[in-house]
């Protein structure tokens, strides 16, 4: 955090090394939040430093941002975006795409989302300053995280079917295909009860089928 805001602090406190050192120390302490959304805090804190104010307010604001940024990032990225990219890459591999191409697809898709999130965060933080909490509440990240859950559950069902189809000696039957499709649709349209029930039925069906 201190390194990220240091160029601005050097400009603000040019010719005053004591004030510069004090400002750097304010931002060099521990900051535990999601790494991709930490740019929101960096942008907001940089704006506060640029506008001037009470250092104690900076510290309280810095502490208050950690929890929301960590929780939102965990939901949107670790539980949503990253699993989606992994499942897409596995599905591509199961459909016959070369492993290196499938891995490259994951790399491009995942990093396109995460780099965009970093850039959005620092711009949103700088524009909002102390009002960045309202920006987070109005952002689409929460709804995206909720919508990715059923999509990932449905993709998990699809990937399981594709993996079974690649297993030597096993062939699809109309009943198994229909069951897998129903489980995927249940996970997508009713993520809370349908996702759990659909995945349980799908795993059980594959186990029985395998035996």
Kindly report, residue by residue over 95-112, the tens digit of the pLDDT: 889 999 999 999 999 999
**Contact (Cβ atoms closer than 8 angstroms) between residue 201 and residue 179:** yes
pLDDT band at 191 (very low <50, low <70, confident <90, very high): low
Q: pLDDT of 113-132, one tens digit each?
A: 999 999 999 999 999 999 99
Joined tokens for residue 91: 């599905």
Q: Residue 206: its pLDDT value, please?
A: 63
Q: How much is the pLDDT for 57?
A: 87
Domain segments of the chain as ranges: 140-211
Maximum Cα–Cα distance for the chain, whole Å? 77
pTM of this structure:
0.78
CA distances from 2 to 10, 34, 60, 201 (A): 11, 16, 16, 51
Axis crossing angle, helix 141-166 with helix 193-210, rounded to the nearest 10: 10
Read off the pLDDT of residues 45-57 as tens digits, 9 standing for 90 and up.
999 999 987 888 8
CA nearest neighbour of 37 among 150, 146, 145: 145
Q: Where do we find the tokens 């919508």?
A: 147
How many Å apart are CA 43 and CA 62, to the nearest integer? 11
Give me the percent of the chain exceeding a pLDDT of 90.
Answer: 49
At residue 88, the pLDDT reads: 94
pLDDT at residue 193 in the model: 62
User: In three state form, how does the secondary structure of the chain look?
Assistant: CHHHHHHHHHHHCCCCHHHHHHHHHHHCCCCCCCCCCHHHHHHHHHHHHHHCCCHHHHHHHHHHHHHHHHHHHHHHHHHHHHHHHHHHHHHHHHCCCCHHHHHHHHHHHHHHHHHHHHHHHHHHHHHHHHHHHHHHHHCCHHHHHHHHHHHHHHHHHHHHHHHHHHCCCCCCCHHHHHHHHHHHHHHHHCCCHHHHHHHHHHHHHHHHHHC
- Whether 114 contacts 36, CB under 8 Å: yes
Confidence of residue 188 (pLDDT cuts 50, 70, 90): low
Mean pLDDT of 23-31: 89
Instruction: Give the angle 172-176-181 at the CA atoms, nearest 5°.
Output: 110
Q: According to the model, what pLDDT value does residue 107 have?
A: 96
Instruction: Using pLDDT thresholds of 50, 70 and 90, give the confidence band for residue 152.
Output: confident
User: Is the pLDDT at 91 greater than 60, yes or no?
Assistant: yes
């Amino acid at each position: 955090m201190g390194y990220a805001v240091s160029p601005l602090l050097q400009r603000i406190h040019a010719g005053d090394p004591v004030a510069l050192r004090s400002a750097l120390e304010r931002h060099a302490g521990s900051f535990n939040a999601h790494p991709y959304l930490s740019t929101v805090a960096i942008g907001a804190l940089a704006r506060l430093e640029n506008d001037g104010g009470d250092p104690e307010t900076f510290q309280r604001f810095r502490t208050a941002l950690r929890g929301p940024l960590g929780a939102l990032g965990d939901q949107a990225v670790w539980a949503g975006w990253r699993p989606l990219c992994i499942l897409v890459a596995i599905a591509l591999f199961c459909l016959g795409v070369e492993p290196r191409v499938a891995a490259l697809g994951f790399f491009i898709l995942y990093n396109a989302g995460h780099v965009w999130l970093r850039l959005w965060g620092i711009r949103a933080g700088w524009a909002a300053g102390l009002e960045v909490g309202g920006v987070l509440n109005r952002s689409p990240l929460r709804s995206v995280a909720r919508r990715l859950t059923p999509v990932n559950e449905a993709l998990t069902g699809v990937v399981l079917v594709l993996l079974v189809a690649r297993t030597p000696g096993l062939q699809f039957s109309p009943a198994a295909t229909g069951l897998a499709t129903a489980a995927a649709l249940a996970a997508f349209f009713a993520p809370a009860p349908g996702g759990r029930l659909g995945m349980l039925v799908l795993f059980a069906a594959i186990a029985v089928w395998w035996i």
